[in-house]
């Protein structure tokens, strides 16, 4: 069945029936092309989605303070809640089991000067572990360390764009800058995936900031990093007990919606993952539909091809073609065309996808891609179903009596 002579016969038939070859090849190539592109776009959507949320660590609670709206235990409502260093120590002591790190954050706007250059930047006074919470990536030098916190050093870590603004192309490491009237030494430059604003930040030790502000021990925000092993349920439980712990310590009515807020990224993460999964299911559904449409398309063409060839098959049978060779001719031809055009469609699709890259970012599609296995499986599925779809009419054609087929005009 697979001899060289049979292939020659099939090639000749394909060559001499260009319209037929084109029709069936085009259907398959188009089906696979659309499948690859749709599936790639789906993956691009998911990529965009991941990008949005992968900027910061996900095993983190952000604890914010606010004003109470309910009186509680002798305190009036509308009381401003304050955090200080002791809160940090208490949280570390009470939740040691869940904790990976904690860090305070004190945000200020400051005028920063270097030689003639000056600009306004957000400074964040933090502990060394803040690097993990924000996923800060060091380009040069180092981040703040424990020594800096203990010794209240006047060291600063500046964002990539701060360096660009103030130093131009020059190196900033070891240089001294003026932050709000105090002189700091630049020890590191960082980058951050969170966008330009996050690269226009200056970090300093929180203890130094407190020293500058009349040796206070107040802090704005508490960031709590928990062990990822505790999982989603553990994180939710931890959030609840942390919430009630702080409320108790600060005398906030447990029913008060305000006073403190905890932003739980774990909860968001779960929602995001669910959303991404729904997205993937939708994409999968659409892709599945495309494949089905492709199968129906190739089936129609096969019925048409066999119908068109009825007379020819009758002649061949009268000249001694066995039913097996009739089926073989039709199937080999269709499998050959669908295989070639299927893989052509697949390669074009992959090429188109990779040419998009970041160009479609405005439409929330980043780096659309399809993995080769998925694309190949889809192509092979289409080929197999094309063959099955071809087999049914081919078998009917092989069974038809030559005398009936010859009468067909």
Interacting residues with another protein (CB under 8 A): 5, 8-9, 12-13, 16-17, 311-312, 314-325, 398-399, 401-403, 406
Cβ proximity to another protein: between 1 and 137 the closer is: 1
Give yes or no for a contact between 385 and 295, defined as CB atoms under 8 angstroms apart.
yes
What's the closest the beta carbon of residue 24 comes to another protein, in angstroms? 16
Q: Which helix (H) or strand (E) is 100 found in, with range? A: strand 99-114
What's the closest the beta carbon of residue 317 comes to another protein, in angstroms? 6
Cβ proximity to another protein: between 63 and 330 the closer is: 330
Compute the Cα dihedral for 266, 192, 206, 219 and give only its sign: negative
Q: Please enumerate in sequence order all residues whose Cβ is within 8 A of that of 103, keeping only pairs 6 or more positions apart, or say none.
A: 126, 127, 128, 129, 130, 133, 206, 222, 223, 225
Cβ proximity to another protein: between 79 and 311 the closer is: 311
What's the closest the beta carbon of residue 324 comes to another protein, in angstroms? 7
What's the closest the beta carbon of residue 14 comes to another protein, in angstroms? 11
Rounded-to-integer distance, Cα 194 and Cα 304, Å: 56
- What are the structure tokens assigned to 218, written together? 């107040």
Q: CA 281 → CA 124, 286, 297, 329, 376, distances in Å?
A: 41, 9, 24, 39, 20
How big, in percent rounded to 5, are the helix, strand and coil portions of the chain?
Answer: 60, 20, 25
Cβ proximity to another protein: between 137 and 403 the closer is: 403
What's the closest the beta carbon of residue 345 comes to another protein, in angstroms? 26
Rounded-to-integer distance, Cα 202 and Cα 109, Å: 10
- What are the structure tokens assigned to 243, written together? 């919430």
Give yes or no for a contact between 152 and 204, defined as CB atoms under 8 angstroms apart.
no
Question: Which runs of consecutive H residues, i.e. helices, occur in 127-264?
Answer: 130-134, 146-151, 160-167, 206-212, 231-250
What's the closest the beta carbon of residue 325 comes to another protein, in angstroms? 7
Cβ proximity to another protein: between 200 and 317 the closer is: 317
Q: Which own/partner contact pairs does 69-72 have at CB distance under 8 Å and 24+ positions apart? A: 69/256, 69/257, 69/258, 69/259, 70/253, 70/255, 70/256, 71/253, 72/251, 72/252, 72/253, 72/256
Cβ proximity to another protein: between 9 and 256 the closer is: 9
Count CB atoms within 10 A of the CB of residue 233: 9
What's the closest the beta carbon of residue 387 comes to another protein, in angstroms? 21
- What are the structure tokens assigned to 406, written together? 């010859």
Cβ proximity to another protein: between 329 and 379 the closer is: 329
Rounded-to-integer distance, Cα 324 and Cα 331, Å: 10
Cβ proximity to another protein: between 105 and 309 the closer is: 309
- What are the structure tokens assigned to 172, written together? 């900033």
Rounded-to-integer distance, Cα 176 and Cα 172, Å: 8
Q: CA 89 → CA 36, 86, 150, 224, distances in Å?
A: 54, 5, 14, 12
Of 222, 237, 258, 239, the C-alpha closest to 72 is 258
Cβ proximity to another protein: between 351 and 404 the closer is: 404
Cβ proximity to another protein: between 377 and 403 the closer is: 403
**Alpha-carbon Rg for the chain in angstroms:** 34
What's the closest the beta carbon of residue 332 comes to another protein, in angstroms? 14
What's the closest the beta carbon of residue 302 comes to another protein, in angstroms? 18
What's the closest the beta carbon of residue 327 comes to another protein, in angstroms? 11
Cβ proximity to another protein: between 233 and 319 the closer is: 319
What's the closest the beta carbon of residue 4 comes to another protein, in angstroms? 8
């Amino acid at each position: 069945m697979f001899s060289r002579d049979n292939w020659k016969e099939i090639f000749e038939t394909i060559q001499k029936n260009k319209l037929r070859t084109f029709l069936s090849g085009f259907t398959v190539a188009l089906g696979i092309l659309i499948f690859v592109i749709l599936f790639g776009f789906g993956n691009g959507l998911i990529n965009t989605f991941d990008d949005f949320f992968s900027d910061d660590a996900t095993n983190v609670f952000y604890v914010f303070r606010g004003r109470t709206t309910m009186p509680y235990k002798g305190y009036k409502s509308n009381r401003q809640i304050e955090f200080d260093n002791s809160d940090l120590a208490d949280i570390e002591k009470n939740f040691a089991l869940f904790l990976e790190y904690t860090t305070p954050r004190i945000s200020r706007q400051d005028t920063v000067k270097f030689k003639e250059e000056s600009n306004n930047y957000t400074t964040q006074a933090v502990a060394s572990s803040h690097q993990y919470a924000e996923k800060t990536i060091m380009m040069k030098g180092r981040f703040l360390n424990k020594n800096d916190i203990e010794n209240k050093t006047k060291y600063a870590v500046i964002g990539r764009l701060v360096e660009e603004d103030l130093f131009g192309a020059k190196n900033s490491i070891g240089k001294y800058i003026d932050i709000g009237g105090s002189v700091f030494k630049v020890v590191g430059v960082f980058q951050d995936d969170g966008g330009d604003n996050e690269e226009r930040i200056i970090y300093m030790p929180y203890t130094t900031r407190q020293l500058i502000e009349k040796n206070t021990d107040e802090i704005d925000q508490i960031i709590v990093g928990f062990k990822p092993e505790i999982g989603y349920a553990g994180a939710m439980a931890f959030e609840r007990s942390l919430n009630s712990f702080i409320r108790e310590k600060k005398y906030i009515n447990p029913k008060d919606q305000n006073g403190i807020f905890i932003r739980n990224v774990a909860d968001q993460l779960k929602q995001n993952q669910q959303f991404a999964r729904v997205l993937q299911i939708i994409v999968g559904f659409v892709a599945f539909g495309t494949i089905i449409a492709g199968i129906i398309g190739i089936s129609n063409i096969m019925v048409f091809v066999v119908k068109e060839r009825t007379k020819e098959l009758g002649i061949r049978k009268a000249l001694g073609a066995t039913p097996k060779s009739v089926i073989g001719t039709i199937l080999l031809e269709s499998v050959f065309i669908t295989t070639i055009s299927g893989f052509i469609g697949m390669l074009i699709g992959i090429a188109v996808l990779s040419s998009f890259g970041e160009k479609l970012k405005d439409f929330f599609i980043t780096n659309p891609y399809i993995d080769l296995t998925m694309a190949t499986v889809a192509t092979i599925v289409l080929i197999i179903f094309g063959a099955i779809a071809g087999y049914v009419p081919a078998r009917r054609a092989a069974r038809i009596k030559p005398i009936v087929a010859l009468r067909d005009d």
